[in-house]
Amino acid sequence: MFFRKKNVYIEEIEEQPIKEDFSTFGFNDILYYIKREIGVDLFVKRSIIETRMKLFCEERDISSFKKLHDAVKYKNDLRQELINLLTVNETYFYREERQLKEAIDFTQSRSGRVNIICAPCASGEEVYTLGMMINEQFGSLEKFTITGIDINSEAIKKANQGVYSQRSLHKLSQTLKDKYFIQNGDTYSVKKHLFSSLRFSKVNIFENSFVNMGNFDIVFSRNMLIYFDDDFRVAAMKRFAQLLKGDGRLFLGHADIVPKNEWFVKNGFGSSCYYSKS
Nearest to 164 by CA among 177, 152, 151, 173: 177
- Alpha-carbon distance 11 to 158, whole Å? 53
Residue type, 207: E
Distance CA(150)–CA(157), nearest Å, equals 10
What is the predicted pLDDT for the residue at 257? 87
Q: Which amino acid is at 199?
A: R
Show me where the domains of the chain are located: 27-86, 97-276
φ and ψ at residue 114, rounded to 5 degrees: -105, 120
- State the pLDDT at residue 10: 47
Confidence (pLDDT) at 89: 77
Which secondary structure element, helix H or strand E, spans residue 238, and what is its range?
helix 230-243
How open is the CA angle 33-222-228, to the nearest 5 degrees? 25
Average pLDDT for runs of 10 along the chain of length 278: 50 56 93 94 91 94 96 95 88 94 94 96 97 97 97 96 96 98 97 96 96 96 93 96 96 91 84 86
pTM: 0.88
The pLDDT value given to residue 76: 95
CATH assignment of 97-276?
Answer: 3.40.50.150
Q: Which residue in 149, 146, 136 sits closest to 114, CA to CA?
A: 146
DSSP secondary structure string, 83-151? HHHH------TTTTHHHHHHHHHHGGG--S-EEEEESS-TTSHHHHHHHHHHHHHHS--TTEEEEEEES
The pLDDT, as a whole number, for residue 18 is 57
